[in-house]
C-alpha cells in the first residue's frame, strides 16, 4: 500500500520559504507555498554578496556561516547543472577588514590555506582588477547572486510538488489534522498537516511571540554606472559593506542598516554613505552618481543567529536571516526538514525558539 505524501503549507516565497519548499518537495512532501505579492521581500535586493567566511573560529555564528556556504554552494552547483539560472556571477570574494578584529583575523590566514590568501593592495590589483585601500583576503569562494532568481530556481526545481499561490495570510488556525492559513476575510488559503512560517519581517504578525527575537532592520543599497576604473572589478568586495562587480554596466553597493526603522522611503544620505564607500574601496577619483536604489527590511535577531525551529505542534519557523540569507537559508531548510523528521542537529540548539537564550528587551512585554 503506498503512503500518502505528507503535506506542508509554507508562508513566504523569499529565500527562506523557497529553500524550505525545495527540501520538503525533494523528500516527497506536497507543498503549498503562499506569498503575498504586495509584502516586503528582502530577497528582492537586485544583487547581493555571498561572502566567504575565514578563520577557524568555532562560535555558533561562524560555524553556521561556514557550513551554510558549503550548503548554498552545493545547491547552486546542483541547480545550475539542472539548467536553472540562479543569478550567480563573479566567483570569489575580496574580504576587506571592516574593523580591527577583522584585520587581526585576516592576518591569521595560514599561507597554505587552499582557498584564501592575504593580499596587499598591489596583489589585489593584479588579481581582481582594482586596487583596494588596504590589505585584504582574496577568497576563491563566495559569489555575487541575485536572490530572487535563486528563490525562483528553488521553487522551480520540484515544481510538480510545490503549488505556489498568491495571497496574504492573516492568521494560522490549528485544527485536529494540522493548520489552516486564513485570509483577513477568514477564507482558507491552504490547509496542511505541517505549517512553516517564512515570512521575513512579517513573522511577528503571524506569530507575535517571535517579537522576542525578530526586529526589522532597514537597508538601502545604491546602484551606480561602471566607469573605466571600476569596470575591471572581477569579484565582489565584502567588509563593512559590499560592492558587486558591474552587472550589465551597473554596480550595486550597500547596504545601510537601521535597526527598528520601517520607513520605506529612499534616503539621499544613505546613497551618499554607500557611494562614498564605493569610492574609497575602488579608488575612484570622484564619488559616483546614484542611478537607482533599493530599500528593504531584513529580519534580524539580537545575536545574528537565524530563528529556526519548532513553535508549536507541527508549526515551524525559518526567519531572522538578517544580512546573510544567502549563507543561512538553504542550511536552515535542511536543519528544519531534519528536525521535522525527528533528527535534531546539534547546531539547532542555537537557532531554535525552544532553546535559545538571547532576546530583545521586549521580553518583559510578552510575559
Ligand atoms: C538592502 C539589503 C541588502 C542585503 N544584502 C545581502 C547580501 O549582500 N547578502 C546576503 O546574504 N543577504 C543580504 N540581504 C539579506 C537577505 O536579502 C535576506 O536575509 C533574505 O532575503 C531573507 O529571506 P526571507 O525569505 O527570510 O525573507 P523575505 O525575502 O523578506 O521574504 C518574505 C516572504 O514572506 C511573504 N509574506 C510576508 N507576509 C506575508 C503574509 N502575511 N502572507 C503571505 N506571505 C507573506 C513575502 O511576500 C515574501 O515572499 C540583504 C537585505 C537587504 C534588505
Closest CA to 38 of 209, 202, 163, 210: 202
**Any atom of ligand 1 within 6 Å of the Cβ of 31:** no
263-315 pLDDT per residue, tens: 999 999 999 999 999 999 999 999 999 999 999 999 999 999 999 999 999 99
CA of 172 to the centre of ligand 1 (A): 21
Element (H, E) at 16: helix 15-26
Q: Which of 200, 204, 221, 258 to mutate to test the pocket of ligand 1 (most atoms within 8 A of CB)?
A: 200
- pLDDT tens-digit map of 191-232: 999 999 999 999 999 999 999 999 999 999 999 999 998 998
C-beta pairs of 172-178 under 8 Å, 24+ apart in sequence: 172/11, 172/197, 172/206, 172/207, 172/315, 174/312, 174/313, 174/315, 178/7, 178/314
Structural domains of the chain ordered from first start: 7-44+148-214+302-366 (3.50.50.60), 93-140+216-299 (3.30.9.10)
Global pTM reads 0.95
Residue-level pLDDT at 269: 98
Cβ 33 vs Cβ 13: under 8 Å: yes
What pLDDT score does 361 carry? 62
Residue from 286, 296, 255 nearest 273 by CA: 255
CB 360 within 8 A of CB 338: no
Alpha carbon distance 326, 95 (integer Å)? 17
Give the distance (Å) from ligand 1 centre to CA of residue 255: 14
Which pLDDT does position 365 carry in this prediction? 40
pLDDT of 2: 55
Q: Is 14 in the pocket of ligand 1 (CB under 6 A)?
A: yes
Write the pLDDT tens digit of every residue in 234-267.
999 999 899 999 999 999 999 999 999 999 999 9
288-318 b/e (C-beta count within 10 Å ≥ 16 → b): bebeebbbbbbbbbbbbbbbbbbbeebbbbb
Q: Closest by alpha carbon to 122, among 133, 109, 131, 110?
A: 131
Region of poorest pLDDT, from 51-65, 128-142, 168-182: 51-65
Q: Is the CB of 169 under 6 A from ligand 1?
A: yes
Amino acid at each position: 500500500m503506498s503512503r500518502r505524501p505528507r503535506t506542508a503549507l509554507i508562508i513566504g516565497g523569499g529565500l527562506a520559504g523557497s529553500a524550505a519548499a525545495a527540501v520538503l518537495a525533494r523528500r516527497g512532501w506536497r507543498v503549498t507555498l503562499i506569498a503575498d505579492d504586495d509584502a516586503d521581500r528582502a530577497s528582492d535586493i537586485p544583487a547581493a554578496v555571498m561572502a566567504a567566511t575565514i578563520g577557524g573560529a568555532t562560535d555558533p555564528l561562524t560555524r553556521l556561516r561556514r557550513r551554510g556556504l558549503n550548503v548554498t554552494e552545493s545547491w547552486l552547483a546542483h541547480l545550475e547543472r539542472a539548467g536553472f539560472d540562479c543569478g550567480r556571477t563573479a566567483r570569489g570574494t575580496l574580504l576587506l577588514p571592516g574593523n580591527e578584529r577583522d584585520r587581526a583575523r585576516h592576518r591569521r590566514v595560514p599561507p597554505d590555506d587552499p582557498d584564501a590568501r592575504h593580499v596587499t593592495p598591489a596583489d589585489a590589483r593584479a588579481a581582481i582588477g582594482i586596487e583596494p585601500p588596504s590589505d585584504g583576503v582574496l577568497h576563491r569562494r563566495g559569489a555575487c547572486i541575485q536572490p530572487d532568481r535563486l528563490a525562483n530556481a528553488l521553487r522551480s526545481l520540484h515544481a510538480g510538488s510545490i503549488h505556489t499561490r498568491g495571497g496574504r495570510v492573516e492568521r494560522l488556525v490549528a485544527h485536529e489534522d494540522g493548520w489552516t492559513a486564513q485570509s483577513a476575510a477568514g477564507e482558507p488559503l491552504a490547509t496542511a498537516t505541517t505549517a512553516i512560517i517564512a515570512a521575513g519581517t512579517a513573522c511577528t504578525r503571524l506569530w507575535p511571540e517571535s517579537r522576542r527575537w525578530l526586529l526589522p532592520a532597514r537597508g538601502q543599497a545604491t546602484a551606480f554606472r561602471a566607469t573605466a576604473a571600476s569596470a575591471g572589478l572581477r569579484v565582489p568586495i565584502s567588509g563593512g559593506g559590499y560592492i558587486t562587480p558591474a552587472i550589465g554596466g551597473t554596480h550595486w553597493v550597500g547596504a545601510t542598516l537601521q535597526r527598528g526603522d520601517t520607513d520605506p522611503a529612499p534616503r539621499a544620505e544613505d546613497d551618499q554613505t554607500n557611494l562614498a564607500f564605493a569610492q574609497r574601496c575602488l579608488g575612484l577619483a570622484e564619488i559616483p552618481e546614484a542611478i537607482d536604489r533599493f530599500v528593504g527590511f531584513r529580519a534580524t535577531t539580537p545575536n545574528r543567529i537565524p530563528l529556526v525551529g519548532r513553535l508549536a505542534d507541527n508549526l515551524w519557523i525559518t526567519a531572522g536571516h538578517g544580512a546573510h540569507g544567502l549563507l543561512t537559508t538553504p542550511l536552515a531548510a535542511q536543519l528544519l526538514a531534519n528536525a521535522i523528521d525527528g533528527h535534531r542537529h546539534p547546531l539547532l540548539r542555537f537557532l531554535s525558539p525552544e532553546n535559545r537564550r538571547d532576546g530583545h528587551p521586549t521580553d518583559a512585554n510578552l510575559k
